[in-house]
Amino acid sequence: MYIALLINFVVFKFFGNVEDVINMAHDNYENVHRLGGSISNFIPFRTINSYSSTMGIGSSFINIIGNIIPFIPLGFLIPIVFPSKKSP
């Protein structure tokens, strides 16, 4: 259940409103054509630098923390679900 919610939150950015998902997909489609290519970010820290220069360090920090917090339970669940095959 946690993994399904995490994928839903990260990949689909779905918070319960289908209209928002459709609007985001439409906006992404328009941005790709307007920018003449992909809107993927392959340059490390480009988004963080953009946030810190336009919104300030505080908003950038909140964004980073908000991206890390959902993955913390995964660090506890993986060892439980996939225990080590090594004998003690």
Residue 63 phi/psi, 5-degree rounding, is -65, -45
Cβ atoms of 70 and 6 closer than 8 Å: yes
* Identity of the amino acid at 54: T
- pLDDT in the model for residue 33: 66
pTM over 0.85: no
**For the segment 26-40, what is each residue's pLDDT rounded down to a tens digit?**
777 776 666 665 566
1: pLDDT strictly greater than 80: no
